Amino acid sequence: MEHIISWARSVPQIEKIELNVRSTNRRAIKLYESKGFIKEGLLEKRIKTPSGDYIDELLMGLLLK
């Protein structure tokens, strides 16, 4: 993650990194937040599980400039 962010910062044309993560993936969300990503949106019932339940997807972004 640090390598990708560092590389993106070195490319003047890249101003923002965006990602989607399952709202239930707390470890990943904490990692992204520790790198400076902020929550920007929520896609409700985005992923349907084999059991028929739904999981929301969180949209996160990191402004580089």
Structural domains of the chain ordered from first start: 2-63 (3.40.630.30)
C-alpha–C-alpha distance, residues 10 and 4, integer Å: 10
pLDDT recorded at residue 45: 97
Q: Does the pLDDT at position 65 exceed 90?
A: no
pLDDT recorded at residue 59: 98
Residue 37 and residue 62 in contact, taking contact as beta carbons nearer than 8 Å: yes
13's tokens: 């044309």
CA angle 59, 61, 62 (to 5 degrees): 165
* Predicted TM-score of the model (pTM): 0.90
Distance, C-alpha 16 to centroid of its chain: 12
Residue 15 and residue 65 in contact, taking contact as beta carbons nearer than 8 Å: yes
Tens digits of residue pLDDT in 20-58 = 999 999 999 999 999 999 999 999 999 999 999 999 999
